[in-house]
């Protein structure tokens, strides 16, 4: 069984020396130092220009229970976090942590479950350096990702 994935990369560097990062803060693009990115992400800002961000596919009034939900708490974290999700259909699942270069750095859990079944898995940072990571849940034909911020 094979799969193909298309990854679109957006260069978020800014500043005269390209040593800063563009973040979307309350609908306005800001060019900030890399040391301020974690704080901005922590209160809901997104990396990249505001017009380049993905928009949610759900419309007002749609039933969100039909889409996968994935949470990481606490987030940001320095040592460990709890990753929780509920399956929307009976299927196998795989919970992964991916770095910003797109490399798989950890498989947190794999298994099978029934529709409506909830899972909670502890993720320990281990050797991972501080930074932004993505937690990805693949369950059946669905997938969901959320950001995870690791700090000292």
68-150 in CATH: which number? 2.60.40.2550
pLDDT at 138: 93
Parse the chain into domains and list their residue ranges.
13-52, 68-150
Both tokens of 86, joined, read: 């509920």
pLDDT at 117: 93
Distance (Å, whole) CA 103 – CA 143: 17
pLDDT at 60: 43
Q: What is the tens place of the pLDDT at every residue in 8-63?
A: 677 888 988 888 988 888 888 899 998 888 888 877 888 888 775 444 443 444 44
On whether the pTM is more than 0.75, the answer is: no
Q: What is the tens place of the pLDDT at every residue in 68-86?
A: 889 999 999 999 999 999 9
Q: What is the tens place of the pLDDT at every residue in 102-124?
A: 899 999 999 999 999 999 999 99
Q: Is the pLDDT of residue 125 over 70?
A: yes
Give the mean pLDDT of the chain: 84
Share of the chain residues as helix, strand and coil, in percent rounded to the nearest 5: 10, 50, 40
């Amino acid at each position: 069984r094979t799969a193909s994935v298309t990854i679109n990369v957006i260069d978020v560097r800014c500043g005269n020396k390209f040593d800063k990062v563009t973040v979307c803060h309350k609908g306005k693009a800001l060019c900030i130092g890399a040391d301020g990115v974690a704080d901005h992400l922590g209160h809901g800002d997104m990396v990249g220009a505001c017009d380049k961000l993905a928009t949610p596919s759900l419309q007002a009034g749609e039933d969100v229970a039909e889409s996968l939900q994935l949470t990481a708490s606490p987030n940001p974290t320095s040592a460990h976090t709890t990753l929780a999700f509920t399956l929307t259909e009976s299927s196998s699942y795989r919970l992964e942590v991916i770095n910003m270069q797109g490399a798989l750095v950890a498989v947190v859990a794999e298994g099978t479950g029934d529709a409506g079944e909830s899972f909670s898995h502890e993720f320990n940072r281990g050797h991972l350096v501080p930074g932004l990571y993505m937690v990805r849940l693949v369950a059946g034909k669905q997938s969901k990702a959320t950001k995870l911020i690791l700090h000292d």
